[in-house]
């Protein structure tokens, strides 16, 4: 058995996949397997991976019909043989010698069930925490959102049949993490930042307009509330409510996306509907800036909100 299974879903990733895999193969730590799940790519992704695998026994290539990143990661989970699991996206890479450093952190905190790296030091100190003491903060700081920069116990995943939700391609990562963390008593948080994101991938889902984004984000938020109800903690509810408001703000910004075809009146009706459905949510103890965001959504008229969000969206696009 390997210590670490590194799962990489890949779809039409011929521009990036070699750099991604090579960033692992160049490590000075070798107790790992790489599982690349080709999710029905139409380019040369599979051929590139096959060539790499010919000379590297630790690289295992799986091919499937296109079903989305969640189904690809799930195939990786089902075939993972490592004690721990780590996820990467096919257009990203890790720093030199980072697996050694990760292993050092794990050896200092032996047999923990979750390791979260890349934390912001002014929000958390690098340490071991009881999950119930930090889960609310992990939610509202959105450190819980991505599966990258995290190490998971393969046993916990398999024993509890934890998989990525294939019913949504928005927020599925957060839902996976919240589902997983309910089976964890202690989590190791560490500031080491080994994971490098590719900011230039125009095919990224985060840059595309999704007409059903609001409904899917609300679905994820509702599921997260259902899962975390067992903790019976108000701070978790407030954190999820804040994220819900932030999601709404994001959806209003998307109404200014170049691919959005709604008329001005339809946009105002959509905003009014979102505000009405969420007007009674309570948020406390999250700081002035976060409170301002919530107040904007509650108090400001829909027409003014649309102007503000349109301005913010245009600024983001220019960057």
Taking only the tens place, the pLDDT of each residue in 27-52 is 999 999 999 999 999 999 999 999 99
84 pLDDT band, cuts 50/70/90, is: very high
Q: What H or E segment, with its residue span, contains residue 195?
A: strand 195-196
SS3 category, 206: helix
| Domains and their CATH numbers in the chain | 4-196 (3.90.550.10), 208-318 (no CATH)
Where does residue 236 rank: exposed (0-12), middle (13-18), buried (19+ CB within 10 A)?
A: buried
Mean pLDDT of the chain: 93
Three-class HEC string of 212-264: CHHHHHHHHHHHHHHHHHHHCCHHHHHHHHHHHHHHHHHHHHHCCCCCCCCCH
- Reduce the DSSP state of residue 159 to 3 states and report it: helix
* Residue whose pair of structure tokens reads 């800036």 in the numeric block: 289
The band of 206, judged by pLDDT with boundaries at 50, 70 and 90, is low
Beta bridge partner(s), residue 242: none
Kindly tell me if the per-residue pLDDT of 114 is higher than 60.
Answer: yes
Residue closest to 143 by CA, chosen among 109, 116, 112, 122: 116
pLDDT in tens, 229-265: 999 999 999 999 999 999 999 999 999 999 999 999 9
CB proximity list for 32: less than 8 A, separation 6 or greater: 2, 3, 4, 5, 6, 24, 58, 82, 99
pLDDT at 202 over 60: no
pTM over 0.85: yes
In the chain, the percentage of residues whose pLDDT exceeds 90 is 82
């Amino acid at each position: 058995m390997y210590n670490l299974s590194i799962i990489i879903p890949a779809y039409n990733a011929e521009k990036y996949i070699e750099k991604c895999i090579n960033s692992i193969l160049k490590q000075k730590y070798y107790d790992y397997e790489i599982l690349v799940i080709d999710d029905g790519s139409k380019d040369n992704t599979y051929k590139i991976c096959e060539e790499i695998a010919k000379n590297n026994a630790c690289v295992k290539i799986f091919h499937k019909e296109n079903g989305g990143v969640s189904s690809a990661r799930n195939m990786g989970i089902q075939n993972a043989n490592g004690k721990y699991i780590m996820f990467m996206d096919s257009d990203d890479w890790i720093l030199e010698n980072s697996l050694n450093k990760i292993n050092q952190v794990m050896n200092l905190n032996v047999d923990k069930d979750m390791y979260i790296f890349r934390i912001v030091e002014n929000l958390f100190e690098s340490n071991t925490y009881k999950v119930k003491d930090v889960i609310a903060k992990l939610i509202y700081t959105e450190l819980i959102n991505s599966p990258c920069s995290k190490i998971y116990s393969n046993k916990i995943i398999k024993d509890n049949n934890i998989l990525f939700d294939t019913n949504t391609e928005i927020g599925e990562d957060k839902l996976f993490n919240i589902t997983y963390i309910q089976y964890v008593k202690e989590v190791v948080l560490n500031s080491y930042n080994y994971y490098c994101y590719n900011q230039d991938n125009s095919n990224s889902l985060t840059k595309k307009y999704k007409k059903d984004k609001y409904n899917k984000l609300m679905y994820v938020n509702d599921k997260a509330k259902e899962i975390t109800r067992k903790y019976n903690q108000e701070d978790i509810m407030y954190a999820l409510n804040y994220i819900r408001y932030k999601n709404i703000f994001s959806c209003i910004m998307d109404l200014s996306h170049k691919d959005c075809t709604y008329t001005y009146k339809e946009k105002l009706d959509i905003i009014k509907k979102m505000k009405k459905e969420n007007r009674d949510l309570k948020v406390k103890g999250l700081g002035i800036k976060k409170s301002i965001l919530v107040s904007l959504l509650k108090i400001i008229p829909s027409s003014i909100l649309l102007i503000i969000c349109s301005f913010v969206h245009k600024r983001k696009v220019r960057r």
